[in-house]
């Protein structure tokens, strides 16, 4: 799979990367200015249904962007899981949207268009930006008083596909049809309140609407790649990590990682619940393989210093889960070498001998130990004494760069 979205810093270096960002910003501002988006009366007119150009432009941009993203994902040019989706904070988002809308009505600008007005030295744009800076400062000084509300109602990386439990193709069609209907409805509102004649608008807009609908149908027909599709594209690049055992970490490295406070270590125990109850590492979360796909968005949303360590009884099932997570672009995923069996071989103490005994012959990926009681994590081997054990091993954990935005906002 082509590694889109591209990491411009690694491709061009920081100076050229910043130059690209500067040019994109300049061109975006130029388009806004030439479209009349630096004129506050024209922008505010949309709230009175007299001039809905802002609504039309941004709604069209959203739909075109959606179609290009999901079409590129469908044909394997883009990895959708690497696209940043703003996390959802429901109620604070609603309140923030209402405040911004009220400011838009009163001032005639949104943050992006106010900067365009500032760049063209419009007095109202200058005062709007100054007011925005004052508001940002006040927010920064007072956010601690309502931080629980501000950070509450958190839903993570939530999309319409998650909300309605529908395939991406169906959502793309529905959103496109909704956009076409809303654009038509906007024309009708302008006709009633703005006394505009839709017949004078360019006829090409009908062809444009038809193209959008056709592309939405194409996206739905092609469909989004399955996990198996994604792995088949990645296999030539990542299969060597399995063959060269680059992803299998020594029990000693996992023990060191458990005491490394710079890492956000997530240990995922994929074994059967019965084996997990008999014995598991302290703080290891039990997630059966069939539940892994439903947790992908949660895993991707973890901080950049997160390391995932998969553990089965041996390595077979954990390797298959590793393929799933890797295909879904979850970074920094490793496997406990030899699984729980190897962990117990390494760290089991005489205390455990009172409760369990080693079984020599069992099937692959089965627990090599029998237990007289379900110990869970209530024994020394679940969290060995870090000072007691020292190993010579080849470190395998290397944090992979996680792509995320450094900013964002309204156009």
Residue 194 CA to residue 46 CA, distance in Å, equals 10
Return the percentage of the chain with pLDDT > 70, whole number.
94
Backbone φ and ψ of 62, nearest 5° = -60, -45
pLDDT, one tens digit per residue, over 145-196 is 999 999 989 888 889 998 999 999 999 999 999 999 999 999 999 999 999 9
Q: Which whole number is the average pLDDT over 303-330?
A: 95
The model's pTM: 0.80
3 pLDDT above the threshold of 90: no
- Per-residue pLDDT tens over the stretch 227-242: 999 999 889 989 999 9
Find the mean pLDDT for residues 29-46.
Answer: 88
Q: What is the pLDDT of residue 410?
A: 54
Q: Range with the lowest mean pLDDT among 135-144, 178-187, 194-203, 211-220? A: 194-203
| Least trusted range by pLDDT, from 17-21, 181-185, 245-249, 338-342 | 17-21
Cα distance between residue 313 and residue 368, in whole Å: 8
In angstroms, the CA 52 to CA 44 distance is 9
The Cα 106–Cα 127 span in angstroms is 12
Burial class (CB in 10 A: 0-12, 13-18, 19+), 329: buried
State phi, psi for 392 to the nearest 5 degrees.
-100, 115
Going from N- to C-terminal start, the domains of the chain cover 8-226, 228-382
DSSP 280: -
Write out the DSSP string of 41-82.
HHHHGGGGTS--HHHHHHHHHHHHHHHHHHHHHHTTS--GGG
Q: What is the pLDDT of residue 211?
A: 96
- Half-sphere exposure (Cβ direction) of 61: Cα atoms closer than 13 Å: 11
Can you give the pLDDT at residue 49?
Answer: 92
Give 90's contacts (C-beta < 8 A, 6+ positions apart): 153, 155
Whether 406 shows a pLDDT value over 70: the answer reads: no
Higher pLDDT, 363 or 163: 163
Under 8 Å CB-to-CB from 164, ≥6 apart: which residues? 171
Can you tell me the distance from the alpha carbon of 283 to that of 377, in angstroms, rounded to the nearest whole number?
8
Spatial distance between the Cα atoms of 165 and 14, rounded to a whole number of angstroms: 40
Mean pLDDT, the chain, rounded, equals: 90
pLDDT number for residue 405: 47
Q: Which CATH superfamily is domain 228-382 in?
A: Rhodanese-like domain (3.40.250.10)
Judge whether residue 351 has pLDDT over 80.
Answer: no
Q: Which two tokens stand for residue 35?
A: 């479209």
**Mean pLDDT along residues 32-37:** 86
Region for residue 339 given its phi and psi (left: phi exceeds 0; alpha: psi -120 to 50; beta: otherwise): left
CA proximity to 304, closest of 189, 162, 184, 399: 399
Q: What is the pLDDT of residue 407?
A: 46
Is residue 37 classed exposed, middle or buried when 0-12, 13-18 and 19+ CB atoms within 10 A define those classes? buried
Report pLDDT digits (tens) over 82-108: 888 888 999 999 999 999 999 999 999
| Report for 231-235, 267-271, 341-345, 369-373: range of highest mean pLDDT | 267-271
């Amino acid at each position: 799979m082509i590694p889109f979205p591209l990491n411009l810093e690694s491709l061009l270096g920081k100076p050229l990367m910043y130059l690209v960002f500067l040019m994109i910003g300049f061109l975006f501002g130029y388009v806004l200015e030439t479209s009349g988006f630096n004129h506050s009366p024209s922008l505010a007119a949309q709230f009175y249904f007299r001039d809905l150009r802002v609504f039309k432009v941004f709604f069209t941009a959203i739909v075109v962007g959606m179609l290009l993203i999901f079409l590129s994902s469908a044909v394997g040019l883009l990895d959708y899981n690497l696209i940043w989706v703003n996390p959802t904070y429901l109620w604070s988002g609603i309140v923030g949207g209402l405040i911004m809308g009220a400011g838009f009505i009163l001032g005639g600008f949104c943050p992006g268009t106010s900067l365009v007005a500032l760049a063209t030295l419009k007095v109202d744009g200058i005062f709007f930006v100054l007011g925005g800076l004052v508001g940002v400062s006040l927010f920064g000084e007072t956010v601690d008083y309502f931080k629980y509300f501000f950070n509450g109602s958190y839903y993570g990386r939530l999309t319409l596909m998650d909300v309605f439990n529908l395939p991406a193709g169906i959502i793309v069609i529905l959103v496109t049809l909704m956009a076409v209907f809303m654009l038509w409805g906007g024309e009708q509102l302008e006709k009633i309140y703005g006394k505009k004649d839709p017949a004078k608008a360019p006829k090409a807009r009908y062809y444009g609407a038809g193209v959008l609908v056709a592309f939405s149908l194409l996206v739905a027909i092609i469909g989004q790649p399955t996990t198996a599709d994604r792995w088949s594209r990645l296999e030539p690049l990542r299969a060597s990590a399995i063959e060269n055992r680059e992803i299998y970490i020594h029990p000693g490295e996992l023990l060191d990682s458990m005491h490394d406070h710079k890492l956000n270590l997530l240990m995922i125990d994929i074994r059967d619940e019965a084996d997990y109850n008999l014995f598991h590492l302290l703080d290891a979360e039990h997630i059966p393989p069939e539940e892994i796909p439903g947790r992908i968005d949660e895993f991707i949303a973890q901080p950049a210093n997160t390391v995932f360590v998969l553990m089965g009884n041996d390595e077979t099932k954990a390797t298959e889960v590793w393929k799933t997570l890797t295909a879904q672009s979850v970074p920094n995923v490793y496997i406990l070498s030899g699984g729980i069996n190897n962990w117990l071989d390494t760290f089991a103490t005489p205390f455990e001998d009172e409760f369990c005994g080693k079984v020599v012959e069992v099937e692959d990926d089965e627990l090599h130990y029998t237990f007289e009681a379900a110990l869970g994590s209530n024994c020394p081997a679940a969290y060995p004494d870090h000072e007691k054990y020292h190993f010579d091993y080849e470190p395998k954990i290397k944090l992979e760069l996680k792509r995320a935005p450094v900013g964002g906002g309204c156009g």
